[in-house]
Structure 1
Amino acid sequence: MTKPGPLSLNTATVKEQWSLQQCIEGCARHGITGISPWRDKLAEYTTAKAAKHIREVGLTVTGLCRGGMFPAADAAGRQAAIEDNKRAIDDAAALNAQCLVLVVGGMPSGSRDLAGARSQVQDGIAAVLEHARAANVPLAIEPLHPMYAADRACVNTVAQALDICDALGSGPNDRHLGVAVDVYHVWWDPTLAAQIRRANKRVLAFHVCDWLVPTTDLLLDRGMMGDGVIDIPSIRAMVEGVGYDGFCEVEIMSTGNWWKKDADAVLKTCIERHATVV
């Protein structure tokens, strides 16, 4: 097995301990060469300051989290989401981000129309795609585990994400509309290998963490790589098999464990596990 690609820190991993400024400084201090900010932390620091700081320390922005959240109960809500995504695209362009990650959104409050929500997602992405192409910002649809279908993401498999890409004219070599493969969300899928082959060059991001047994909170109890049941190297081999040669982005949300630890210690553990179990 080849060595994994370089490590990137998704700032969610230490969101309770550090600001974005501290995350940038921490990556530089520990020799981590990639970073993926969340937009709330970016807004606190400002895009201009963050972009300047990131350039100064030589980090690669592997993604901006997150766009999406397209479905809404009315036309005004759907249009507001489109405008917010255009702003996210502009921020991603200012950061020279390798992609904008789309967590697409679930069903509007009170709705039971899952198919309708998925249709709204496709329409929303279609409405911002040309803006993204003009800004040279790839859009990475991140399928989330089906447990999030109602409230966070009604796109739950790589196959569903690629169906949207295909419907919007994204071929297998298109680098402007594709998927973010997060092992936490897709490790269970028996069609994963076939769908990653179908994705081809449209794998735009690769996120790592682990699935704990037991998991005490389905959102905020992600595990450090190697502490759970996911065969991370096999999924890495799948994405590398279609030509993905980018960063391994660690994204851990952990109220009961990693968010309580010293952030420098968390980064040291990320580096060690990236080298040994990813």
Structure 2
Amino acid sequence: MSDLSRCSLNTATVKHASLTEAVEAAAGAGLGAVGLWRHQVQEAGAATARKIVEDAGLRVSSLCRGGFLTATSDEGIREAVADNERALIEAAEVGTSELVFVVGGLPGSAPEAPPAPGTDRDLVATRRRVADRLADLAPIAERHGVRIVLEPLHPMFVADRAVVSTLGQALDLAAPFDAGTVGVVVDTYHVWWDPELQASILRAGREGRIAGYQVCDWNLPFAATALNSRGHVGDGYVDFATISRWVAEAGYTGDVETEIFNAEIWAAPPAETAATVGARFAEHVLPHL
């Protein structure tokens, strides 16, 4: 019997399940943790969500998500800081020290949409604003005992979701802050292609900034929505053996979340999906940690 204590089911992988159903599926499959999303925590209430997880004998590996830091207006900046402070509080209340941040795309962009009139195309300035907002939020994160966890997204999402594309960029943004305040997550779907990945993972380890390891596969052909082209570990092109070994060599010993966006997987029974998550973790990831 494989040790699945480090295997975590990110609840996005069973999108249509309730929080209780997702937690029951993870526990039933013998997993050790779940990664939660804010809408579920808000619907249940943080205290109730925490109790559901703890009563099942599980941990909360992370909360998704904070971020979207690229607003240009004073009002937009105030709203972003206020929403991220709420997210940091929610993370603490639900029992995790890790809040995953997707930093946001170009101001005026919308997911999977052409640019609207007035879209700001200044990518350099947009990335600079991300750094400015991190400086605003770092003291708040410290106060609540929660780490801001920067998630670089694949470059195809620069326009509409994240102007940070590589682990190296994320580490550079984190560098001015204590490693316990700003860290990074290694998400195989987004970074597997990066020729500097090994060096960046080892750097992240030296700096003590690896706050999470998320796994899923890169499937082809793409779905109509590229974001939903993730697959179960082992079904696509990602070299999990090598990346997992790099993460282990960097000193990471925390939870490994499976986070999948895929309509076919969402349609499957949550218990079946959780069992597959555990089996694929045992086969493709665990032997290399």
TM-score between the two structures when normalised by the length of structure 1: 0.94
Equivalent residue, structure 2, for 1:190: 195
Structure 1 residue 4, shift from structure 2 partner:
8.0
Q: Where does the alignment leave 5 or more consecutive residues of structure 1 unmatched? A: none
Of residues 195, 219, 232, the one that matches 1:224 is 232
Of residues 136, 158, 161, the one that matches 1:149 is 158
| CA distance, structure 2, for counterparts of residue 97 and residue 158 of structure 1 | 22
CA contact (8 A) 1:7 1:271 kept: yes
Equivalent residue, structure 1, for 2:184: 179
1:170-209 deviation per Cα after TM superposition (whole angstroms, max 9, x unaligned): 3xxx232110110000000000011111112211000000
Is residue 2:131 matched to residue 1:132? no
* AA in 2 matched with 1:163: D
CA contact (8 A) 1:5 1:245 kept: no
1:238-258 deviation per Cα after TM superposition (whole angstroms, max 9, x unaligned): 111111011110000001x10
* AA in 2 matched with 1:234: T
Equivalent residue, structure 1, for 2:218: 211
SS at match of 1:219: helix
| CA distance, structure 2, for counterparts of residue 260 and residue 89 of structure 1 | 31
CA contact (8 A) 1:13 1:251 kept: yes
Equivalent residue, structure 2, for 1:267: 274
Matches within 5 A, 1:65-84: 65-84=64-83
Structure 1 residue 222, shift from structure 2 partner:
0.7
Structure 1 residue 133, shift from structure 2 partner:
1.1
1:74-94 deviation per Cα after TM superposition (whole angstroms, max 9, x unaligned): 111011011100000000001
| CA distance, structure 1, for counterparts of residue 41 and residue 95 of structure 2 | 14
| CA distance, structure 2, for counterparts of residue 240 and residue 176 of structure 1 | 22
1:18-58 deviation per Cα after TM superposition (whole angstroms, max 9, x unaligned): 01122122222222110111111221211121012222222
Q: What is the Cα-based RMSD across aligned positions, in Å?
A: 1.5
Equivalent residue, structure 2, for 1:12: 12
1:92-123 deviation per Cα after TM superposition (whole angstroms, max 9, x unaligned): 00112130000010110111011111111111
CA contact (8 A) 2:91 2:98 kept: yes
CA contact (8 A) 2:5 2:33 kept: no
Structure 1 residue 267, shift from structure 2 partner:
0.9
1:57-85 deviation per Cα after TM superposition (whole angstroms, max 9, x unaligned): 22111100000001113111011011100
* AA in 2 matched with 1:146: P
Cα separation, partners in 2 of 1:226 and 1:243, compared to 1, 3 Å: same
Structure 1 residue 3, shift from structure 2 partner:
7.8
SS at match of 1:62: strand
Structure 1 residue 5, shift from structure 2 partner:
6.7
CA contact (8 A) 1:221 1:253 kept: yes
* AA in 2 matched with 1:59: L
- Name the % identity: 41
Of residues 240, 246, 253, the one that matches 1:245 is 253
1:126-179 deviation per Cα after TM superposition (whole angstroms, max 9, x unaligned): 11111111211111100000011111110110111011111x233xxx232110
TM-score between the two structures when normalised by the length of structure 2: 0.90
Cα separation, partners in 2 of 1:137 and 1:147, compared to 1, 3 Å: same
Which deviates more from structure 2 when the two are superposed, residues 79-88 or residues 26-35?
A: 26-35
CA contact (8 A) 1:66 1:102 kept: yes
Equivalent residue, structure 2, for 1:235: 243
Q: Where does the alignment leave 5 or more consecutive residues of structure 2 unmatched? A: 109-118
Is residue 2:61 matched to residue 1:26? no
CA contact (8 A) 1:5 1:246 kept: no
| CA distance, structure 2, for counterparts of residue 251 and residue 211 of structure 1 | 12
- Aligned pair count reads 271
CA contact (8 A) 1:4 1:248 kept: no
| CA distance, structure 2, for counterparts of residue 80 and residue 248 of structure 1 | 32
Equivalent residue, structure 1, for 2:262: 254
Which deviates more from structure 2 when the two are superposed, residues 4-13 or residues 188-197?
A: 4-13
